[in-house]
Amino acid sequence: MNKLLLILLTALAWVPAAMATDFTFAQAGIKISLPDGFALLARGDIDQLYMPTRGPGFVMGNAARTITISYDLKPHKLASLNLGQTLKAFETVFEQRVPGLVWKERKLIEHEKQQWLQLEFLSKTGGVDYYNIMLITPMKEQMLVLNLNSTVAEFPQAEPVLRAAMKSVALNVAVPEMVINPVPAPATAAAPDKKPASAGKKEKSAS
């Protein structure tokens, strides 16, 4: 083997991988992997972020709350065969109700052996512009909604994290019978985001 290549491979073996945390939601059997430093937000933080509307069931965010990934199950039945028509309906509703809407992407994708709606758009909340990536699919006679977003200013740096989170979504995940629900991060003032310091992987579960 080339001596230089051997040296490079040896060096790479000592480079720690970025830490990751798996968030598992028992209600839908879904798992999402995010970089270390992301945490479940407390209900008070969620309400503050989404006021005056009702926030989603669960939200994970970085320390500064400039990148968030939300998960919710809505009591609306979607038919996989009619997702094309559903896409048109979402377009109409969003254009009527989302402040500062600018479409970036609207399409059907396949992930985990089922179809999803993928909607990407800009929106404005509290004077701040956000880039949203919304994923929607039928789930257990309901509608699974994931919204991955960041501020527009931070999106160039946040995009790799959001795209990786999209790809990490796993469905029909077996959840152990004994699940300790994670304690959401306390409601605190926004702090600078922290970078992972060492290798490893953790898992958090929610029902």
Query: Given this model, what pLDDT does residue 204 score?
Result: 64
Query: Given this model, what pLDDT does residue 207 score?
Result: 55
Query: Given this model, what pLDDT does residue 197 score?
Result: 41
Place of tokens 């709350």: 65
Query: Given this model, what pLDDT does residue 53 score?
Result: 79
Q: Cα(40)–Cα(25) distance, rounded to whole angstroms?
A: 12
Asked if 73 contacts 143 with a C-beta cutoff of 8 angstroms, the reply is: yes
Q: pTM of the entire structure? A: 0.74
Q: What is the DSSP letter of 98?
A: S
- Other CB atoms within 10 A of residue 107 CB: 10
Query: Given this model, what pLDDT does residue 27 score?
Result: 77
Query: Given this model, what pLDDT does residue 136 score?
Result: 94
Q: Cα(98)–Cα(184) distance, rounded to whole angstroms?
A: 28
- Strand order through the sheet with 20-25: 30-35, 20-25, 201-206
Query: Given this model, what pLDDT does residue 10 score?
Result: 32
Q: What is the DSSP letter of 17?
A: P
Q: Cα(170)–Cα(31) distance, rounded to whole angstroms?
A: 5
Tens place of pLDDT per residue across the chain (207 aa): 554 433 333 333 333 334 578 998 887 789 999 998 999 999 988 888 887 778 898 999 999 888 999 999 988 887 766 788 888 889 999 999 999 999 999 999 999 999 999 999 999 988 899 999 999 999 888 899 999 999 999 999 999 999 999 999 999 887 654 343 444 555 555 444 443 343 445 556 665
Domain parsing of the chain, residue ranges: 39-171
Q: Cα(148)–Cα(93) distance, rounded to whole angstroms?
A: 19
Given this structure, which CATH class describes domain 39-171? Answer: alpha beta
Query: Given this model, what pLDDT does residue 33 score?
Result: 93
The length of the chain, given as a count of residues: 207
Query: Given this model, what pLDDT does residue 173 score?
Result: 83
Q: Where are the alpha helices (DSSP H) in the chain?
A: 3-13, 43-50, 83-97, 155-168
Query: Given this model, what pLDDT does residue 176 score?
Result: 56
Place of tokens 């795209």: 163
Q: Cα(34)–Cα(69) distance, rounded to whole angstroms?
A: 9
Q: Which of 205, 204, 188 is nearest to 20 (CA)?
A: 204
Q: Cα(157)–Cα(53) distance, rounded to whole angstroms?
A: 28
